[in-house]
Amino acid sequence: MGGQGRDYEQSPSPTPPYLNNPSLSQCNLQKKTNVLVMSLVVIAFAVSALLAWITTFAHLILSHYPKPRRTNTIDQFVTAHLGNWVRSHVKNPDVFADCFFRVTLTLSDQQVVTGIAIMIAGLKLLAENHISIYHFSVVRELAFFSSNAHLLSLISLWAYLSSDRKRYRTTGRYRRIPLAFSTKWRLVCFFAFFVLFLTVTWMGADRDWDNEFGCPVKCASHNVKDFGGQPLGWAIAITYLLFTGYTFYALQLGEALVDRNKTVRRWIIAKWSSVDDKVTRRIARSSILLKLFHGLKTIAYAWRMYVYSDAMELLTMLGWYTANLYWLIEDKKEGSRWMSDEQWTIENEYGFGQIVPLVLLVLPIMTFLEAYYGKKPMHWFRSWLMVPL
């Protein structure tokens, strides 16, 4: 996705901060910066992440899980008032649910690979001192879109594996969970993505990061003592999302693939029940402590309903997507403010690196058509292609 670069030594008004700051007077780029954040590339990442949200939503709404799957009060409400209504108005909802599931996985795989690639490219340019804080910030935000799409795929993947396991356990048949090998491959990729994204995120936690967009990244302080302000808050928020999202779904996928009988979960539930009984007996004489304990349990239950709810997770991911899109637009505006018209035109020129990410958006359409027509009778497919029998 590289393209023609730009020279910070000739940057127009407003002058990049490092040229006015004596302490940063030697902090300049060795060469021109490769452009990783051209407009069509940004659009492609944003559209892919949004499509991942839409396909995940469609898959969960159209899917008909066995009753044991929907134990969450929030999800039961959504299923009863929205899911059942949508399914009743869609022909072959199970077919479409499977199609959307496969599209979600395709988008996830595409986003994880491109996200890893763009972060590696950004870190490589950083090592060579060829990238500005502005460009590195946008690289981080593009990686966030990739993370968003991947987390959404984990929701669909866990729901699919969980329902598949229950279906085959109910019929008395056991088999290896589908997609086991591909799931392992995805876990390896998300671990690599996880490490790279954390690295990229915390490199931008310097409190002055947003005020030095025209500077090379090496000018920013990477000392923990200089972390603070909005950049630190954004880094903490992303870290929270990564640890809660990836850890939560990794554990659930691990249970679906390894612990089919929920041995660990049953042990935790039994331990909690034992602790609950002991605490209740000890504080039974104090009405205040008993009410406080019951209040804490109510809060914990509500939190559990929120965390384990697919519907709430979708809303949360949509909120993260919107926030990241907002900051991406703001960063692009800031970049256009201190870049010359010529430099801005160069950065947004249409070229090979601009077109390829948009062309890749055809893959989800191809995946959907392949999955949909794969459910049709072969003679219909042949007649559609006008292939004689």
For residue 310, give the 3-state DSSP assignment.
Answer: helix
Residue 237, Cβ neighbours under 10 Å: how many?
13
Find the mean pLDDT for residues 313-326: 89
The structure tokens listed for 43 are 């659009």
pLDDT at residue 103 greater than cutoff 70: yes
Amino acid at 17: P
Q: Quote the longest CA-to-CA distance of the chain.
A: 84
What pLDDT was estimated at residue 232?
A: 87
What pLDDT was estimated at residue 25?
A: 42
Q: Is residue 85 part of a domain?
A: yes
The number of distinct structural domains making up the chain is 1
Q: Which range marks the domain in which residue 101 is found?
A: 8-260+309-364
pLDDT at residue 199 greater than cutoff 80: yes
pLDDT at residue 54 greater than cutoff 80: yes
Centroid of chain to Cα 232: 20
Q: Is residue 277 part of a domain?
A: no
pLDDT at residue 324 greater than cutoff 60: yes
Q: Is residue 275 part of a domain?
A: no
What pLDDT was estimated at residue 135?
A: 85
Q: Is residue 289 part of a domain?
A: no
Highest mean pLDDT among 166-170, 193-197, 369-373: 193-197
What pLDDT was estimated at residue 116?
A: 92
pLDDT at residue 44 greater than cutoff 70: yes
pLDDT at residue 385 greater than cutoff 60: no
pLDDT at residue 15 greater than cutoff 50: no
pLDDT at residue 378 greater than cutoff 70: no
If one compares 29 and 267, the residue with the highest pLDDT of the two is: 267
pLDDT at residue 157 greater than cutoff 70: yes
Q: Which of 4-8, 49-53, 125-129 comes out lowest in average pLDDT?
A: 4-8
Q: What is the dihedral of CA 262, 263, 265, 271, to 10 degrees?
A: 150
In contact, 107 and 364? CB cutoff 8 Å: yes
Q: Is residue 382 part of a domain?
A: no
For residue 193, give the 3-state DSSP assignment.
Answer: helix
For residue 216, give the 3-state DSSP assignment.
Answer: strand
Burial of 233 (0-12, 13-18, 19+ CB in 10 A): exposed
The structure tokens listed for 15 are 């002058």
In contact, 344 and 336? CB cutoff 8 Å: yes
Whole-angstrom distance, CA of residue 107 vs CA of residue 49? 8
For residue 206, give the 3-state DSSP assignment.
Answer: strand
DSSP-derived letter for residue 227 is B
Angle, alpha carbons 192-58-258 (nearest 5°): 45
Which residues, in sequence order, are bridge partners of residue 216? 132
The structure tokens listed for 311 are 């519907």
Q: Is residue 192 part of a domain?
A: yes
pLDDT band at 176 (very low <50, low <70, confident <90, very high): very low
What pLDDT was estimated at residue 64?
A: 66
Q: Is residue 299 part of a domain?
A: no
Find the mean pLDDT for residues 32-44: 65
pLDDT at residue 5 greater than cutoff 50: no
pLDDT at residue 3 greater than cutoff 60: no
If one compares 248 and 209, the residue with the highest pLDDT of the two is: 209
pLDDT band at 379 (very low <50, low <70, confident <90, very high): very low
pLDDT at residue 171 greater than cutoff 70: no
The structure tokens listed for 284 are 């039974």
Burial of 322 (0-12, 13-18, 19+ CB in 10 A): exposed
- H-helix segments, the chain: 17-20, 39-62, 73-78, 84-88, 93-127, 133-170, 180-202, 229-257, 263-282, 287-307, 310-338, 341-347, 352-359, 362-373, 378-384
Give the model confidence (pLDDT) of 132-155 as tens digits.
888 888 899 999 998 888 888 877
pLDDT at residue 117 greater than cutoff 70: yes
Phi/psi of residue 132, nearest 5 degrees: -90, 170
Residue 14, Cβ neighbours under 10 Å: how many?
10
Highest mean pLDDT among 56-65, 97-106, 341-350: 97-106
Q: Is residue 94 part of a domain?
A: yes
